[in-house]
Amino acid sequence: MEISERPKRPSNSVLFLVTIVVFSLIAGGLIGYLNCYSSTSGDINELQTQLDSLQQELSQVQSTQDVDYQTVAVTSADNVSVSQLYAQVADSVVVIRGMMLSQYDFFGHAYYSQVQGSGFVYNYEGQMVVVTNYHVVEGSINITVTFSNGNGYSATVLGSDPYAELAVLSVDAPAEEFVPIEIASSSSLDVGDPVMVVGTPYGLAGSMSVGYVSALGRTLTAETTGGYVIANVIQTTAALNPGNSGGPVLNYDGEVVGIATAIVEDSEGLGFAIPSNTILREIGDLITTGSYDDHPWLGASGVDMSYEIAELMDTDVTYGWLIAQVTSGGPSDNAGLQGGTQQVEVVDEYVIIGGDIITAIDGTRITGIDSLSAYLEEYTLPGETIDLTVIRDNQTITLQLELGNRPAITSTT
């Protein structure tokens, strides 16, 4: 009988080796996992730290931008808040109302409509007056002035000048009602300077708007000026609406640098103001004599030169003021200036060409009616003699002209 052989058990050394191998594999995997986890965790922590740092920097930038924006929006260059400026001048601004004849009915009964504008209090050599626009009180009766506290009083026109759109009123009110405001020279203004307008647009008393000086030395024409231009006008982006007329335009020192006078219909942010230099120049005469009669007069009419007109006149001069006609016996006629000789169409407009081109006054370059009118109004008076640089037949000549007084407003040039 064959006896089967019993299987041999593995030796202890073999089992030990197997155990060592298995343990090494497990330990190696665990160590690799721990190393990978540690490395990945470190990267995650580093990324989180960078993210937190970026969020903090972004928060600081946004905070800085918010502070800068608020500073620009509500403070002046001298770190005076606009709300403080408003509080400083609000009691100086008044509402002006009057009654104007609108029509007569079939039986001859008169019907009146109310007109309204703005104005401001000014102390002229101890006399308290209210300054406003000419067109606010033109032809009005029963004029009243209402102060910021709501108290209203009757007023009368001391003097007015339609050529400058100015009027000065005397108000029958006690002294404590008057809070005068200072007037500064508009010569200090530059394009880009911030300005503030306070007035009563649409009858909303005490309204304020802010903006910037967008141009200087403009000219305006108005129904009240008889065809003459209003010179040296300030253009501003501060919002103006009906009822703002006569209200002060102020710098960020709270001083009057102009008086709001006109808006351009359907425009956005385009308004005009009479410069304070005009007020300072005229107010004494308006109060003492009732009018201002020192507007210089050339006695000529014309148009601004342009490239298209220069081509038609066969000249290289594309700037200046082209004289279309001179008034017989007027200053230009007496000085020998010549008007145009031919009417032509230029860009859907008829222009008289062939006349003299004024390119400078007393050595100051003249580019058109804006600079010509601004120079005459700011620096000359009737009776003074000026030197005109003129282009005639492509030759440059110099003529002396004695300025006259602007005629009555019913006259035309």
Task: Mark whether 190 and 249 lie in a shared domain.
Answer: yes
For residue 308, what are the domain limits? 296-405
Task: Mark whether 325 and 246 lie in a shared domain.
Answer: no
Decide if pLDDT at 404 tops 70: yes
Other C-beta atoms closer than 10 Å to the C-beta of 323 total 24
52 located within any domain: no
329 vs 102, higher pLDDT:
329
Torsion of CA 254, 256, 257, 263, to 10 degrees: 110
Task: Mark whether 282 and 327 lie in a shared domain.
Answer: no
What does the alpha-carbon distance between residue 97 and residue 115 come to, in Å, rounded to a whole number? Answer: 6
Task: Mark whether 223 and 276 lie in a shared domain.
Answer: yes
What mean pLDDT comes out for the span 310-336?
94
Task: Mark whether 206 and 246 lie in a shared domain.
Answer: yes
268 vs 156, higher pLDDT:
156
33 located within any domain: no
399 located within any domain: yes
Mark which of 288, 311, 327 sits at the end of a domain: 288
Task: Mark whether 149 and 209 lie in a shared domain.
Answer: no
Decide if pLDDT at 408 tops 50: yes
* Residue 63: its H or E element: helix 12-74
DSSP 348: S
Q: Which of 140, 400, 136, 379 is nearest to 244 (CA)?
A: 136
Q: Check which CATH number belongs to the domain holding 151 and give it.
A: 2.40.10.10
Cα dist from 271 to 86, 205, 241, 363, whole Å: 20, 19, 9, 31
- Please give the mean pLDDT across all residues of the chain: 81
Mark which of 137, 152, 177 sits at the end of a domain: 177
370 vs 54, higher pLDDT:
370
What mean pLDDT comes out for the span 30-40?
52
Task: Mark whether 306 and 399 lie in a shared domain.
Answer: yes
Task: Mark whether 159 and 202 lie in a shared domain.
Answer: no
pLDDT for the residue numbered 93: 93
61 located within any domain: no
344 located within any domain: yes
pLDDT for the residue numbered 96: 92
Decide if pLDDT at 70 tops 50: no
Task: Mark whether 303 and 401 lie in a shared domain.
Answer: yes
How sure is the predictor about 209, in pLDDT bands with cuts at 50, 70 and 90?
Answer: confident
pTM of model > 0.95: no
pLDDT for the residue numbered 140: 86
Decide if pLDDT at 401 tops 80: yes
Decide if pLDDT at 29 tops 70: no
pLDDT for the residue numbered 399: 96
What mean pLDDT comes out for the span 204-213?
84
> pLDDT tens, 182-201?
999 998 899 999 999 998 77
Task: Mark whether 203 and 164 lie in a shared domain.
Answer: no
7 located within any domain: no
2 located within any domain: no
What does the alpha-carbon distance between residue 378 and residue 82 come to, in Å, rounded to a whole number? Answer: 31
Q: Check which CATH number belongs to the domain holding 372 and give it.
A: 2.30.42.10
The number of folded domains in the chain is 3
Task: Mark whether 191 and 172 lie in a shared domain.
Answer: no
Mark which of 150, 177, 204 sits at the end of a domain: 177
> pLDDT tens, 120-165?
999 999 999 999 999 899 888 899 999 999 999 999 999 999 989 9
Task: Mark whether 355 and 387 lie in a shared domain.
Answer: yes
267 located within any domain: yes
> pLDDT tens, 359-400?
999 999 999 999 999 999 889 999 999 999 999 999 999 999
